[in-house]
Amino acid sequence: MSRFAPSPTGFVHIGSLMAALVESKVAHQTGGVFFLRIEDTDKKREQDGSIEAIVQNLINFGLTPDEGIVAIHPEREVGAYAPYTQSERKTIYETFAKFLVAQGLAYPCFATESELTEIRKRQEARKVKPGYYGEYAIWRDKTIDEVKAQLAQGKAPAIRIRAPYPNPKVVRFHDHIKGDLEMPGNDQDMVLLKSDNALPTYHFAHPVDDTLMRVNIVIRGEEWLPSVPLHIMIFEYLGLPLPGFAHIAPIAKMDGSSKRKLSKRKDPEAAVSYYHEAGYPRQAVIEYLLNLANSDFEDWRKAHPGVPHTEFKLKLDHMSKSSPLFDLTKLNDISKEVIATYSAEQVYEHGLAWAEQFAPEFAAILKHDPAYSIAIFNIERGGDAPRKDLVKWEDMEASYGFLFDQPFAAGIRQHGYTWGKIAPSDVQMILTAIAQSDYQISKDEWLNAMRAHAEGMGFARDNKTYKKAPDQYKGHFGDFMMVVRVALTGKTNTPDLYEILHTIGSERVQARFAQALTALT
RNA sequence: GGCCCCAUCGUCUAGAGGCCCAGGACAAGACCCUUUCAAGGUUUAGACGCGGGUUCGAAUCCCGCUGGGGUCACCA
């Protein structure tokens, strides 16, 4: 049983997606349940619509939770341990807090914000460690009457834990990623329940909820590592069994000469939505993340082509202890490989889904004649050497748009034809000769026919021949074919010409040759 | 600054005392193939942060240093 427990701040970080991925995998490969719990105890930071965004992102990346908040609507909540939204669990936390107060393990604190900053200043002046502890914990040993007096004035207390001071015992625990760890025990009287709304802090909600919801492994970001002693203390005060822990190193990037955690403010690629918008197939993002999590994933992928990544067994103890640098180039490579495994139908389906959301005009073109679109995506696809030129759906129009009439026409209007070093008169000669030629023959026959044309017009039959005596030729066969390519596509780099010819059909072929010819005169 | 974590090619990493003058992938270079491009094939360059131990033997174990990161809230 594992959980993904984000707070609804309107932003899903790529590191969170990594955590959710690891959580879901670990739960599923041990026959457990992966659920989503919303940690909305800080009402100030909450953003409208962010719960929907979280669920949607999880669904987009194929990490739909089994329980908890599982869908946007209509039936949002599933599972036996509801509610899965912390603000709806208030009485539960209060009950646990009362239990602690009754035992003298927690106490009400009426310290104001200004008193707290005052304490901090004093600690700074004395050069002692900051915080609410020992002699600085001004409400630690107040009498019941003093508490009642505040209450009578209508003041609401925060509930703080009574930490052992000055000699907390050393905490030893095992982390499934980091290994055996030893840290000084907590001696700070941390807040359990907040004064303004009596909602719990993360530190308190985590032991309570994860126990009640039967979480047996807590997988979360490494930023929580320093507060593990506090958490363990709360579990012990409450008399609850400890879950397992696994702390994931954050994903970082280079900023000048220093490394830092991917930042929500500075780095667009920190947002999970970035990948969705750019049109990276979800499988590519997930496989990239899997590769960061367990680097032997790529060996597994090579050995098991076509097998869904859900079959891959993730090993927590193989995860890196240090922060990896995010590498967009590597993601692109993986994405290219992923798309290369897709059938033409799949490319059409995924590409269209992306375009409908982010490029509606191109979507309309794709949908106009689905069979034609699929035929286009079928060029150089399948077989042992599938074409690997598409990284993400965002690039689809640039790479394949010219095979559709409207984008082709628009491209010519914008850039015209780029004949390069071939003289216009030669271009005309080539096109005139080629325009009527038959291509309803095998590829080899067609290429031979083209080569014959090329040689007849003074082009070298191949690059090698040309290089031996460049002065004797107008160019080599490649130069000749480039003229055909540009006339047909308006571009200098395209997939295989023979396949293009057959895919776009003789009507378009004729029209395009004719258009190029008129453009010359 | 205190506490904690971490440290192998540019990047992600393999490596659990001899299998390692350190292996793979991405990126870079070269060559081959080739109707352009993208691929594909072959190939080159590229790392154990430093200093001490332990040991017949250390990338691997221990100590110190250095460097990087995280965290020190009534945010999560």
State the pLDDT at residue A362.
Answer: 97
CA distances in angstroms from A292 to A14, A217, A263, A320, listed in the order given: 12, 21, 18, 8
Three-state DSSP class for residue A517: helix
Residue nearest to nucleotide B26 (CA to C1'): A330
A106, pLDDT greater than 80: yes
Q: Would the pLDDT of A75 be above 90? A: no
Confidence at A5, pLDDT banded by 50, 70, 90: very high
What is the rounded average pLDDT for all residues in chain A? 93
A279 pLDDT band, cuts 50/70/90, is very high
pLDDT value at A251 more than 90: yes
Query: Is A446 in contact with A439 (CB distance < 8 Å)?
Result: yes
State the DSSP code for A59: H
Distance between the alpha carbon (CA) of A318 and the C1' atom of B8, Å: 16
For chain B, which bases have at least one atom within 7 A of a protein Cβ?
A: 1-8, 10-15, 24-27, 34-40, 68-76
The backbone torsions φ and ψ at residue A51, rounded to the nearest 5 degrees and listed phi first, read: -65, -45
* Mean pLDDT, residues A357-386 taken together: 93
Which residues neighbour A452 within 8 Å (Cβ) at sequence distance 6 or greater? none
Q: How confident is the model at residue A11 (pLDDT cuts 50, 70, 90)?
A: confident
The predicted model gives A119-127 an average pLDDT of 91
User: Within 13 Å, how many C-alpha atoms sit on residue A95's CB side?
Assistant: 7
Average pLDDT over residues A140-158: 95
- The alpha carbon dihedral of A263, A264, A268, A272 has a sign of positive
SS3 content of chain A, % helix, strand, coil (to 5): 50, 10, 35
Residue A190 has pLDDT above 90, yes or no: yes
Q: How confident is the model at residue A357 (pLDDT cuts 50, 70, 90)?
A: very high
Under a CB-based contact definition with an 8 Å cutoff, are residues A147 and A106 in contact? no
ipTM: 0.94
What φ, ψ does residue A132 adopt, rounded to 5°? -105, 100
For residue A383, pLDDT beyond 80: no
Confidence at A121, pLDDT banded by 50, 70, 90:
very high
- The C1' atom of B52 and the CA atom of A180 lie apart, in whole Å, by 26
Q: What does the block give as tokens for A289? A: 């993340």
The string of DSSP letters for A374-404 reads: HHHHTTT-SSSS------SGGGHHHHHGGGS
Percent of chain A with pLDDT over 90: 79
Q: Name the nucleotide nearest A321; use CA and C1'.
A: B6
Residue with more model confidence, A38 or A382: A38
What is the average per-residue pLDDT within A61-81? Answer: 89
For A14-30, write each residue's pLDDT tens digit. 999 999 999 999 999 99
- Using the CA of A221, give the nucleotide whose C1' is nearest: B70
A265, A267, A269, A273 alpha-carbon torsion, rounded to 10°:
20
Provide the pLDDT for residue A385.
Answer: 80
Lowest mean pLDDT among A157-166, A212-221, A282-291, A379-388: A379-388
Q: Which of A130, A191, A125 is CA-nearest to residue A159?
A: A191
Nearest nucleotide to the CA of A189, by C1', is B74
